[in-house]
Structure 1
Amino acid sequence: MAMVTQKTVVLYPSLGVGHLNPMVELAKVFLRRGLSVVIAVVDSPDAMDRLAAANPDINFRRLPVPPCGKDHYSHPIMRTIDVLRVVNPALRDFLRALPAVAALVVDMFCTDALDVAAELDIPAYFFFTSALGDLAIMLHLPYIFPTAPSSFKDMPETVLHFPGVPPIRAMDMATTMQDRESDIARARLHQCARMPEARGFIVNSFDWLEARALKALRYGFCTHGRSTPPVYCIGPLVLPGNTGGSGERHACLVWLDSQPNRSVVFLSFGSMGIFSAAQLREIARGLENSGHRFLWVVRNPPEHQSKPMEPDFVAFLPLGFLERTKERGFVVKNWAPQMEVLRHDAVGAFVTHCGWNSALEGILSGVPMICWPLYSEQRMNKVHMVEEMKVGVVMEGYEEMVKAEEVEAKVRLVMESDEGRKLSERLVMAKEMAADALKEGRSSDVAFNEFLGDLGIRISQRSAS
């Protein structure tokens, strides 16, 4: 067993289950080292109760949220920032009540918590759950954002240069930073400028995948002479697969069992991946014309969101599409067990919105990706995935409307061409390197132990996983 310590690591996620889930996975890494972990939760009481029941070894504590004094916000993240600011006194009281806190680990929106950590003399670290390349961009953004000739939205084709990452068009920067006169852009820029105040960055990536960004960060190229805190790449950590809670295999997995190896294109766009009815029809026509097998997760388009949750495919898919493709296609309503699908031998390509967790799942499964970013930092991830990591190709037209001909062309490219074969070979290597990074004594394991060493915690032996 690992050496037991009385010190506790406090994990502090931002609002929402999407931020809470990755912290739970990080908590499991600490537990495997025999360390005590507490997750301080500001929001998501239902999710907290569910996760607490599923993870009895993790201690969850809910922090009270006082009134923020505002009813309307210009952007949802502005409310998040406001809530996290007013919770600081509760966080301070909570940390003071604990007997020995080794570190406070926060996510990227919790920069106000740095003030509490500094006041209590507790080492504070960021757990960065997106690409390492995104961190390189965010740390460098305060140096180029104010000097840009205009807002990014007004110079969409202008190519920007950041240390350690490929050139990136202004239109592919994070959606929150597109209008520099907006409240959200100012707030996020302020947060980016404060991030180097942390003791270090724990990042859900691994050395081999983003070696150039890691070098730029470690050599201080992203912060213009200001010292950059240490970066610990401990990934890939992904959310565990599940079957939706029923205990039975999802019907789509049963369907995949009857398909040939590497023959199915899987299309899934995250929990917020909603397309217009016109775009859904273009996708359908492209899939049909490609001639390839497909598994497609579909949600109601915006114009149908007021209707029942179950999508009515007849209302927005091309007439007769389901009947014509029933021998080689499977359309799923709303949700599919993504990790199980990607790991299935029948899946040969993944059309993804480029959320970082989905990207890592594709890499861990060795599945080539067709990148169709939708919002947030996903366009930046697309650049990293296509230009730097070379684990996918881009679906052109994502800025407005992807045509059926483009869907067909990219499906055929990945599934039929020499370029697609080379991409598959690259993913085989990426899968092997991802698995290797997590092994004892390899890069991500070593990085985590270096992080613990920075805290003065020495682990004599890894506990059993």
Structure 2
Amino acid sequence: MSHLLLYSFPGAGHIIPLLDLTHLLLRRGLTITVMITATDIPLLKPLLSSHPSSLHKLVYDEPEITPSPHHPLIAKVISTQKLFGLIVQWFDSHPSPPVAIVSDFLLGWTSELASHLGIMRVVFSPSGAFSSSVIHTLWRDIDEINAENRDNRDENFLLAFQEIPNSPEFPWWTVPQVVRDYKTGDQDLESFRKGMLANMTSWGIVYNTFEKLEGVYMDFMKKYMGHPRVWALGPLVPENDGPIPVIGRGGSSVVPHGNLLRWLDQKPDESVVYICFGSQVVLSEMQMSALAGALELSNVGFILCVKESGSTSGTGSIPGGFENRVGNRGFVVKGWVPQLAILRHRAVGSFVTHCGWNSTLEGISVGVMMLTWPMIADQFANATLLVDQLGVGKRACQGGPESVPDSVELARLLDESLSSDRPERVRIKELNQAAAKAVEQGSSTRDLDSFVKLLSEI
């Protein structure tokens, strides 16, 4: 029975899909050890209870982060390298150590760790294959790009990725900040880039995606890496009656989930728009004002989930009197909610999303039209995939920290998103059926079988 060590980068968007993958691998008879912080153990408990003999945990304290003059992500990634010795010590003392480590794509240094231990490293990507194609091409070619866009002065400098299928183009301002900050010779940035490039020399890579969604990009990544060990195992979402609770997935709701679901129960089928920007994004004052204005002008029922930050200057709170003006037509939540449970409710018909990959896949897995409002990182690529390539969404906002939608136009989009004859709604239903087929007995099941078989042969 193969033993794997699974190591997620800290953060809900990374841990949640890795635990969904853990569940799949446990069901295939593998022994799994999950590296996890004491803070995140509650997320693992349901799986520990259902697989007491084959699932284990390696608990660690998050290393102290040395401040970096760059993006906070850089300092956090570098701090994780301090765990190298802890993992080696655990490995050397284990009676049956793992044959491979499956680690997050931000933890590129674990390729060196795997080499030191004499085992395989498999990359787990919580981002999709399309955005991964773009990101890794960026890191490979960043010196040439910087030479062409000298001093990064032109925010609208257009990057054309001719070798990637569909030849996508993105303006410089949509490129992740950590890439835009890159300068040759900077020790921290060089270390981060080295880790990202190490992903492409790993033994294999697992994507939370499926063939019908990103087949051409999976093929591209196989060509990029020079071997076929690139697997699409998604969408990784828990079953309603599985060991990972849909209601508590990722954390506890700030409002009783029963209140939310009872409110939804009162609404007609596909009459509610769900609006959420993930666990990291805080809207600016102007963005929040525009969104609230659009909701007031619209006729839709809605759940508005927002992250508020009272200590950050310029961030937007819900406008005064807004909840009274919309009355029972809206349900406002300030904090974490059981997103998947909400999206699966019959009353929800569309989804205003920041296009984080987990949210994107959850929207596809339930078949709701998406209104895209990307903010950072891979979200611009994901929005392009949804709107321009798949035709299952419309742009609610161009995106980014400075972009503000027109309230009248957004109100119109909100209303139209619930119309049954929208072509995007037809296409998302088709994609939803393809997703279900992939994980039941289709392409994702085939890739999972292949992945497990190769691991058992190591």
TM-score after normalising by structure 1: 0.85
Deviations 1:47-69 (A, max 9, x none): 1255236533221112466767x
Gaps (5+ residues) in structure 1? Answer: 459-465
Matched AA of 2:212: W
Equivalent in the alignment of 2:270? 262
Question: Which residue of 2 is the match for residue 145 of structure 1?
Answer: 142
Q: What displacement does 1:333 show?
A: 2.7
CA contact (8 A) 1:177 1:188 kept: no
- Residue 430 of structure 1 and its aligned partner are, at CA, apart by 1.0
The counterpart of 1:412, out of the listed 387, 409, 415, is: 415
Q: Distance in 2 between the 1:152 and 1:203 partners?
A: 31
Q: Which residue of 2 aligns with 1:461?
A: none
What amino acid is the match of 2:21? L
Which residue of the partner structure matches residue 190 of structure 1? 194
Contact 1:141 1:189 in 2 (8 A): no
Whether the 8 Å CA contact 2:274–2:304 is kept in 1: the answer is yes
> SS in structure 2 opposite 1:236?
coil
Report the equivalent of 2:291: 283
Q: 2:174 aligns with which of 169, 172, 175?
A: 172
RMSD (Å) for aligned C-alpha atoms: 2.8
- Which whole-Å CA distance do the structure 2 matches of 1:411 and 1:184 have between them? 43
List aligned pairs for 1:351-362, cutoff 5 A: 351-362=352-363
| 1:156 aligned residue | 156
Cα distance in 1 for partners of 2:189, 2:152 equals 11
Mean Cα displacement is larger for which, 140-149 or 238-247? 238-247
Distance in 2 (CA, whole Å) between partners of 1:119 and 1:267 is 46
Query: What is residue 233 of structure 1 aligned with on the other side?
Result: 232
Name the SS for the 1:282 alignment partner: helix
- Partner Cα separation in structure 2 for residue 12 and residue 52 of structure 1: 16
Counterparts of 2:322 and 2:395 in 1: how far apart (Å)? 25
Paired letter, 1:406: E
Which amino acid in structure 1 is aligned with residue 409 of structure 2? Answer: E
Structure 1 413/84 Cα, relative in aligned 2: closer, same or farther at 3 Å? same
Partners of 1:297 and 1:273 lie apart in 2 by: 11
Matches within 5 A, 1:58-457: 58-63=55-60, 70-72=66-68, 74-98=70-94, 99-148=96-145, 149-150=148-149, 154-161=154-161, 162-164=163-165, 166-181=168-183, 186-218=190-222, 220=223, 222=224, 227-228=226-227, 230-238=229-237, 240-242=245-247, 244=252, 249-300=257-308, 302=309, 304-305=310-311, 316-318=317-319, 320-399=321-400, 400=402, 401-416=404-419, 421-440=422-441, 442-457=442-457
Q: Please state whether the residue corresponding to 1:11 is helix, strand or coil.
A: strand
C-alpha distance in 1 between matches for 2:328 and 2:98? 58
Alignment of 1:49-64 (within 5 A): 49-52=42-45, 55-56=48-49, 57=51, 58-63=55-60
Whether contact under 8 Å (1:63, 1:91) holds in the other structure is no
Q: 1:330 to 1:215 in 2, by over 3 A?
A: same
Partner of 1:463: none
Residues paired across the two proteins, number = 434
Q: Match of 2:327, SS? A: coil
Give the stretch that moved more between structures: 235-244 or 425-434.
235-244
Alpha-carbon deviations, 1:417-461, whole Å to 9, x = none?
85xx11111111111111110113x21111011112222349xxx
CA distance in 2, matches of 1:341, 1:26: 22
